[in-house]
Amino acid sequence: MTTIALKIAIIAGLGVPLSFGTAFAGGSDPSNTEPLSSQSDPVLGESDCQAIWSGAAAGEDRLSYEKATPYITDLQAADPDSDGYFNKTEFMDACQKGLVHSASQDTAIPQRSHVMLRKR
């Protein structure tokens, strides 16, 4: 067996046990049948919503979809008039519905998710 084929076989063999963990990542509540991706974020307090608005809007009266993307999970659901912008009232309403989260939530990557392979 060549060195490359041996390395591929070893890597594939190591990957199989790791894949079993993803089957259990859904949580421990068997009565919760809603897919993880469609669950809304926890509702933030008014002061948190205000702080996120202030940071995102940066002194402007409205926030475009482009600037809102890091903060709002469902742009269409959060924009009742479908004009492509959020004023402060729309943003705060969306926040109270659990559609807003802090931008750091998406950018934080757990350390254990990184795998480094060393070349020999």
Partnered with residue 87 across adjacent β-strands are: 62
The pTM of this model reads: 0.53
Is residue 1 situated within a structural domain?
no
The H or E element containing residue 9 is helix 3-19
More confident position, 14 or 103: 103
Is residue 113 situated within a structural domain?
no
pLDDT in tens, 10-69: 666 656 555 555 444 554 555 544 444 444 557 889 999 999 999 999 999 999 999 999
Q: Which domain holds residue 78?
A: 46-105
At residue 43's C-alpha, the angle toward residues 42 and 47, to 5°, is 130
Is residue 51 situated within a structural domain?
yes
The average confidence (pLDDT) of the chain is 73
> Per-residue b/e over 92-108, b at no fewer than 16 CB within 10 Å?
bbbbeeebbbbeeeeee
Is residue 2 situated within a structural domain?
no
Is residue 10 situated within a structural domain?
no
The CATH number of the domain holding residue 56 is 1.10.238
Quick check: 83 pLDDT over 80? yes
For the chain, what is the domain count? Answer: 1
